[in-house]
Amino acid sequence: MTGRVQRLHRVAVIVLLFSAILLSGGPAASANVRNEGSASYVLNLQTLHCPWFSVVDDLVSLVQMKNTTGTEMNVYLTIRFGSNEIEDGSYEGIEPITLAPYENKTVNIRQIVTQHRKLFKQANTGGIELLFFGNPTDLIAKTSIVSLKHRQAFDVPFVNPMLATSNVLDSVEWFIGGDYRTFVEIKNTTTEDVSVTLVIRHGKGVATEQTFEMPAQQARAVDIREFKSLLDGDVTGSVELRHNGVPGAVVANSTIMSRSLGLSFDSPFIPRAIPKE
Protein backbone atom coordinates (compact mmCIF):
# COMPACT_ATOMS: atom_id res chain seq x y z
CA MET A 1 0.00 0.00 0.00
CA THR A 2 1.47 3.36 -1.02
CA GLY A 3 1.98 6.24 1.40
CA ARG A 4 -0.77 8.25 -0.32
CA VAL A 5 -3.27 5.40 -0.05
CA GLN A 6 -2.29 4.89 3.59
CA ARG A 7 -2.99 8.56 4.39
CA LEU A 8 -6.35 8.50 2.57
CA HIS A 9 -7.34 5.31 4.43
CA ARG A 10 -6.37 6.85 7.75
CA VAL A 11 -8.26 10.09 7.07
CA ALA A 12 -11.33 8.06 6.08
CA VAL A 13 -11.19 6.09 9.34
CA ILE A 14 -10.96 9.28 11.41
CA VAL A 15 -13.82 10.93 9.50
CA LEU A 16 -16.00 7.84 9.98
CA LEU A 17 -15.15 7.81 13.71
CA PHE A 18 -16.08 11.47 14.05
CA SER A 19 -19.32 10.94 12.07
CA ALA A 20 -20.28 7.94 14.18
CA ILE A 21 -19.92 9.98 17.36
CA LEU A 22 -22.02 12.77 15.92
CA LEU A 23 -24.78 10.37 14.80
CA SER A 24 -24.81 8.59 18.15
CA GLY A 25 -25.46 11.83 19.97
CA GLY A 26 -22.05 11.70 21.59
CA PRO A 27 -20.22 14.55 23.34
CA ALA A 28 -19.34 16.36 20.12
CA ALA A 29 -22.90 16.17 18.80
CA SER A 30 -24.41 17.81 21.84
CA ALA A 31 -21.43 20.11 22.39
CA ASN A 32 -21.10 18.73 25.89
CA VAL A 33 -18.29 20.28 27.86
CA ARG A 34 -16.20 18.37 30.40
CA ASN A 35 -14.71 20.38 33.23
CA GLU A 36 -11.14 19.68 34.31
CA GLY A 37 -10.14 21.82 37.26
CA SER A 38 -10.57 25.45 36.27
CA ALA A 39 -10.65 24.77 32.51
CA SER A 40 -13.38 23.42 30.23
CA TYR A 41 -12.82 21.50 27.00
CA VAL A 42 -15.11 20.31 24.22
CA LEU A 43 -14.30 16.74 23.22
CA ASN A 44 -12.30 16.92 20.00
CA LEU A 45 -9.52 15.36 17.97
CA GLN A 46 -6.28 15.66 19.95
CA THR A 47 -2.65 15.11 19.02
CA LEU A 48 0.15 14.57 21.52
CA HIS A 49 3.66 15.38 20.29
CA CYS A 50 6.98 13.93 21.47
CA PRO A 51 9.97 16.02 20.28
CA TRP A 52 12.47 13.16 20.06
CA PHE A 53 13.14 9.50 19.53
CA SER A 54 16.38 7.79 18.56
CA VAL A 55 17.38 4.30 17.44
CA VAL A 56 21.00 5.26 16.74
CA ASP A 57 23.56 2.59 17.68
CA ASP A 58 21.88 0.29 20.22
CA LEU A 59 19.26 2.80 21.39
CA VAL A 60 15.71 1.52 21.80
CA SER A 61 12.82 4.01 21.92
CA LEU A 62 9.70 2.79 23.70
CA VAL A 63 6.48 4.81 23.51
CA GLN A 64 4.53 4.22 26.72
CA MET A 65 0.94 5.43 26.80
CA LYS A 66 -2.08 5.21 29.11
CA ASN A 67 -5.79 5.71 28.61
CA THR A 68 -6.87 7.73 31.64
CA THR A 69 -10.59 7.30 30.98
CA GLY A 70 -13.23 4.63 31.58
CA THR A 71 -13.92 4.35 27.85
CA GLU A 72 -12.10 2.36 25.16
CA MET A 73 -9.85 4.54 23.04
CA ASN A 74 -8.26 4.24 19.59
CA VAL A 75 -4.87 5.89 19.17
CA TYR A 76 -3.12 6.53 15.83
CA LEU A 77 0.68 6.65 15.71
CA THR A 78 2.72 8.85 13.34
CA ILE A 79 6.52 8.94 13.24
CA ARG A 80 8.17 12.04 11.73
CA PHE A 81 11.70 10.93 10.95
CA GLY A 82 14.87 12.58 9.66
CA SER A 83 17.54 15.02 10.82
CA ASN A 84 17.68 17.11 7.63
CA GLU A 85 15.51 17.93 4.61
CA ILE A 86 16.96 15.03 2.60
CA GLU A 87 16.06 12.44 5.27
CA ASP A 88 12.74 13.94 6.38
CA GLY A 89 9.67 11.74 6.00
CA SER A 90 6.68 10.25 7.79
CA TYR A 91 5.44 6.83 8.83
CA GLU A 92 1.72 6.59 9.58
CA GLY A 93 0.31 3.52 11.26
CA ILE A 94 -2.88 2.37 9.57
CA GLU A 95 -4.33 0.20 12.31
CA PRO A 96 -5.23 1.98 15.55
CA ILE A 97 -3.68 1.11 18.89
CA THR A 98 -6.73 0.16 20.95
CA LEU A 99 -6.60 0.90 24.65
CA ALA A 100 -9.18 -0.55 27.02
CA PRO A 101 -10.38 1.68 29.89
CA TYR A 102 -7.38 2.70 32.02
CA GLU A 103 -5.10 0.41 29.99
CA ASN A 104 -1.45 1.15 29.26
CA LYS A 105 0.57 -0.14 26.30
CA THR A 106 4.12 0.10 24.99
CA VAL A 107 5.16 0.47 21.33
CA ASN A 108 8.73 -0.31 20.28
CA ILE A 109 9.80 2.32 17.73
CA ARG A 110 13.02 0.47 16.92
CA GLN A 111 10.96 -2.51 15.73
CA ILE A 112 8.89 -0.27 13.47
CA VAL A 113 12.00 1.36 11.98
CA THR A 114 13.57 -2.06 11.38
CA GLN A 115 10.40 -3.43 9.73
CA HIS A 116 10.10 -0.38 7.46
CA ARG A 117 13.78 0.39 6.85
CA LYS A 118 13.16 1.02 3.12
CA LEU A 119 10.86 3.91 4.09
CA PHE A 120 13.11 5.27 6.85
CA LYS A 121 16.27 4.78 4.73
CA GLN A 122 19.17 6.13 6.83
CA ALA A 123 17.01 8.09 9.28
CA ASN A 124 17.27 6.97 12.93
CA THR A 125 15.86 9.98 14.78
CA GLY A 126 12.81 12.24 14.75
CA GLY A 127 9.57 13.01 16.56
CA ILE A 128 6.36 11.12 17.32
CA GLU A 129 2.65 11.97 17.29
CA LEU A 130 -0.31 10.22 18.92
CA LEU A 131 -3.77 11.14 17.62
CA PHE A 132 -6.97 10.32 19.53
CA PHE A 133 -10.48 11.61 20.11
CA GLY A 134 -11.37 13.06 23.50
CA ASN A 135 -10.17 15.56 26.07
CA PRO A 136 -6.58 16.89 26.06
CA THR A 137 -5.56 14.76 29.06
CA ASP A 138 -7.48 11.57 28.21
CA LEU A 139 -4.21 10.07 26.93
CA ILE A 140 -0.83 10.51 28.62
CA ALA A 141 2.44 9.27 27.16
CA LYS A 142 6.22 9.39 27.19
CA THR A 143 9.07 7.95 25.13
CA SER A 144 11.73 6.05 27.07
CA ILE A 145 15.07 5.91 25.24
CA VAL A 146 17.33 3.14 26.51
CA SER A 147 20.90 1.99 25.82
CA LEU A 148 21.90 -1.34 27.38
CA LYS A 149 25.46 -0.92 26.12
CA HIS A 150 25.95 2.33 28.02
CA ARG A 151 23.51 1.47 30.83
CA GLN A 152 21.69 4.70 30.20
CA ALA A 153 18.04 5.72 29.89
CA PHE A 154 16.06 8.93 29.68
CA ASP A 155 12.44 9.92 29.10
CA VAL A 156 11.04 12.42 26.62
CA PRO A 157 7.46 13.48 27.44
CA PHE A 158 4.56 13.88 25.02
CA VAL A 159 2.95 17.32 25.07
CA ASN A 160 -0.49 18.48 23.96
CA PRO A 161 0.15 21.78 22.13
CA MET A 162 -3.40 23.02 22.60
CA LEU A 163 -2.63 23.57 26.30
CA ALA A 164 0.17 26.08 25.52
CA THR A 165 -0.52 29.76 26.18
CA SER A 166 2.71 31.36 24.93
CA ASN A 167 5.30 31.15 22.14
CA VAL A 168 8.15 31.42 24.68
CA LEU A 169 9.33 28.21 26.39
CA ASP A 170 11.77 27.85 29.30
CA SER A 171 13.95 24.98 30.50
CA VAL A 172 15.62 25.01 33.90
CA GLU A 173 19.20 23.97 33.10
CA TRP A 174 21.88 22.99 30.62
CA PHE A 175 25.24 21.53 31.60
CA ILE A 176 28.36 20.62 29.58
CA GLY A 177 30.97 20.10 32.32
CA GLY A 178 33.24 17.06 31.96
CA ASP A 179 31.89 14.82 29.21
CA TYR A 180 28.30 15.92 29.83
CA ARG A 181 26.29 17.08 26.84
CA THR A 182 22.93 18.81 26.70
CA PHE A 183 20.59 18.12 23.81
CA VAL A 184 17.66 20.45 23.15
CA GLU A 185 15.01 18.36 21.39
CA ILE A 186 12.51 20.43 19.39
CA LYS A 187 9.41 19.54 17.34
CA ASN A 188 7.27 21.67 15.06
CA THR A 189 3.65 20.62 15.66
CA THR A 190 2.22 22.53 12.68
CA THR A 191 2.01 22.11 8.92
CA GLU A 192 4.02 25.32 8.31
CA ASP A 193 7.73 26.04 8.81
CA VAL A 194 8.42 27.95 12.03
CA SER A 195 11.31 30.27 12.89
CA VAL A 196 12.84 29.33 16.27
CA THR A 197 15.35 31.27 18.34
CA LEU A 198 17.44 29.33 20.86
CA VAL A 199 18.53 31.52 23.79
CA ILE A 200 21.34 30.09 25.94
CA ARG A 201 21.63 32.04 29.21
CA HIS A 202 24.95 31.79 31.04
CA GLY A 203 27.36 33.74 33.24
CA LYS A 204 26.12 37.00 34.67
CA GLY A 205 23.18 37.90 32.48
CA VAL A 206 24.81 36.84 29.19
CA ALA A 207 22.63 35.40 26.41
CA THR A 208 23.89 33.58 23.31
CA GLU A 209 21.28 33.25 20.57
CA GLN A 210 20.81 31.34 17.34
CA THR A 211 17.80 31.46 15.03
CA PHE A 212 16.92 28.64 12.64
CA GLU A 213 13.98 27.28 10.68
CA MET A 214 12.05 24.25 11.95
CA PRO A 215 10.47 22.32 9.03
CA ALA A 216 6.75 21.61 9.23
CA GLN A 217 5.92 18.71 11.58
CA GLN A 218 9.56 17.63 11.91
CA ALA A 219 11.91 17.31 14.89
CA ARG A 220 15.53 18.33 15.46
CA ALA A 221 18.07 18.07 18.29
CA VAL A 222 20.58 20.83 19.10
CA ASP A 223 23.76 20.00 21.04
CA ILE A 224 24.63 22.87 23.43
CA ARG A 225 28.27 21.72 23.37
CA GLU A 226 28.44 22.99 19.78
CA PHE A 227 28.22 26.54 21.22
CA LYS A 228 31.10 25.98 23.66
CA SER A 229 33.39 28.53 21.97
CA LEU A 230 30.72 31.23 22.47
CA LEU A 231 30.00 30.54 26.14
CA ASP A 232 33.03 32.25 27.74
CA GLY A 233 34.04 29.09 29.59
CA ASP A 234 30.65 28.72 31.26
CA VAL A 235 29.42 25.15 31.58
CA THR A 236 25.91 25.67 32.92
CA GLY A 237 22.93 27.98 32.68
CA SER A 238 19.33 27.97 31.49
CA VAL A 239 17.81 27.90 28.03
CA GLU A 240 14.80 29.42 26.26
CA LEU A 241 13.04 28.92 22.95
CA ARG A 242 11.14 31.66 21.17
CA HIS A 243 9.22 31.08 17.95
CA ASN A 244 7.01 33.01 15.53
CA GLY A 245 4.18 30.46 15.49
CA VAL A 246 1.00 30.29 17.51
CA PRO A 247 1.22 29.01 21.10
CA GLY A 248 1.86 25.27 20.92
CA ALA A 249 3.52 25.40 17.48
CA VAL A 250 6.73 24.17 19.11
CA VAL A 251 7.21 21.59 21.87
CA ALA A 252 10.61 20.77 23.34
CA ASN A 253 12.62 18.87 25.92
CA SER A 254 16.18 19.14 27.21
CA THR A 255 18.31 16.09 28.05
CA ILE A 256 21.60 16.31 29.98
CA MET A 257 23.71 13.15 29.74
CA SER A 258 27.12 11.63 30.43
CA ARG A 259 27.97 8.46 28.51
CA SER A 260 30.96 7.64 30.75
CA LEU A 261 28.92 7.87 33.97
CA GLY A 262 25.70 6.50 32.52
CA LEU A 263 23.76 9.41 34.00
CA SER A 264 21.03 11.47 32.36
CA PHE A 265 18.56 14.15 33.44
CA ASP A 266 15.58 15.61 31.60
CA SER A 267 14.32 19.16 31.81
CA PRO A 268 11.11 19.66 29.79
CA PHE A 269 10.42 23.08 28.29
CA ILE A 270 7.43 24.84 29.84
CA PRO A 271 5.48 27.53 27.95
CA ARG A 272 5.38 30.81 29.84
CA ALA A 273 2.03 31.78 31.25
CA ILE A 274 0.44 34.95 29.90
CA PRO A 275 -0.44 37.25 32.84
CA LYS A 276 -4.13 38.03 33.14
CA GLU A 277 -4.88 41.69 32.70
Query: φ, ψ for residue 94 (rounded to 5)?
Result: -80, -50
Does one domain contain both 147 and 68? yes
pLDDT for 87 equals 93
pLDDT tens figures, 151-191: 999 999 999 999 999 999 999 999 999 999 999 999 999 99
pLDDT tens figures, 74-99: 999 999 999 998 999 999 998 999 99
In a domain, 161, yes or no: no
Does one domain contain both 128 and 24? yes
Domain termination residue (choose one: 110, 127, 156) = 156
In a domain, 12, yes or no: yes
* Residues in Cβ contact with 227 at an 8 Å cutoff, skipping those fewer than 6 apart: 200, 208, 210
* Structural domain range at position 68: 3-156
Rounded Cα–Cα distance for residues 115 and 122 (Å) = 13
Domain termination residue (choose one: 126, 156, 186) = 156
Does one domain contain both 178 and 67? no
Per-residue pLDDT at 223 exceeds 90 = yes
Does one domain contain both 20 and 65? yes
- State the Cα angle at 71 between 159 and 268, rounded to 5°: 15
Does one domain contain both 92 and 181? no
Query: If you compute the radius of gyration of the chain from its CA atoms, what whole number of angstroms results?
Result: 19
- Cβ atoms of 156 and 143 within 8 Å: the answer is yes
| Buried-exposed string 89-101: b where 16+ CB fall within 10 A, e elsewhere | bbbbbeebbebee
Q: Which of 237, 210, 214, 240 is nearest to 226 (CA)?
A: 210
Specify the pTM: 0.85
In a domain, 276, yes or no: no
Residue 219 belongs to domain with CATH number: 2.60.290.11
Rounded Cα–Cα distance for residues 138 and 29 (Å) = 19
Domain termination residue (choose one: 129, 156, 183) = 156
In a domain, 233, yes or no: yes
Cα 129 to Cα 12, 78, 81, 211, distances in angstroms: 18, 5, 11, 25
Give the Cβ contact number of residue 169 at 10 Å: 23
In a domain, 117, yes or no: yes
pLDDT tens figures, 143-153: 999 999 989 99
Does one domain contain both 126 and 186? no
Q: What's the structural domain count of the chain?
A: 2
In a domain, 162, yes or no: no
pLDDT above 70 covers a percentage of the chain that reads 83
pLDDT tens figures, 24-34: 333 333 333 44
HEC sequence for 111-145? HHHHHCHHHHCCCCEEEEEEEEEECCCCEEEEEEE
Per-residue pLDDT at 19 exceeds 50 = no
In a domain, 150, yes or no: yes
Rounded Cα–Cα distance for residues 133 and 22 (Å) = 12
